[in-house]
Amino acid sequence: MASGNGSNFEALVSAIWNRRIHAEIALLVVNNPGCGAQQRADRLGIPWQLLNHRDYDSRTDLDRDLVERFRAADVEGIVMAGWMRIVTSELIRAFPDRLINIHPSLLPSFRGLDGVGQALRAGVRIAGCTIHLVTEDLDAGPILIQAAVPVLETDDHNSLSQRIHQQEHHILPIALMLAAQRWR
């Protein structure tokens, strides 16, 4: 699942193609028409579907449709790679312990929106990213893996985000392998 640029999606595709992990992407779902993730999927030959959240009366309705699409594609696990929507219990309960989220902070610090901005405003010296299982409590599920990134005196939102994003690309395949071990 992706909402934006799709660099984490492409990093995961690359890890699969380079045989760093044994997995298959059955379906990419995007919620923003023409987003970078959709364009990357086209270029990479990965099937995708648009479920524009603006077309649904509620988050539950969107998540119900997501569950149907993922079940139809025989999906075993789901990666929320830049999915900028809070999911409901409808999706979480349909895929318990099989829904993975990437968050740009060292959880439990800086939960919710704009973890990078929160870290900069707090003046921390170390920031980073977390990949965790999704639960009904926002950004509070069991942590699979984290990566730390130093906050430099010259950092702004963009420079710190870029370095955190590089670490997300590195740890996402590892997190997927760790999650898959739980699924056996």
Positions marked active-site: 103
Q: What angle do CA 28, 173, 47 make, to 5 degrees?
A: 15
Query: Which uninterrupted H or E stretch holds 150?
Result: strand 143-150
Give the C-alpha separation, 43 to 99, whole Å.
25
C-alpha closest to that of 139 among 93, 80, 51, 183: 80
C-alpha closest to that of 151 among 133, 137, 138, 164: 164
Residues 6+ apart with CB under 8 A from 7: 36, 165, 169
Neighbours of 94 (CB within 10 A): 17
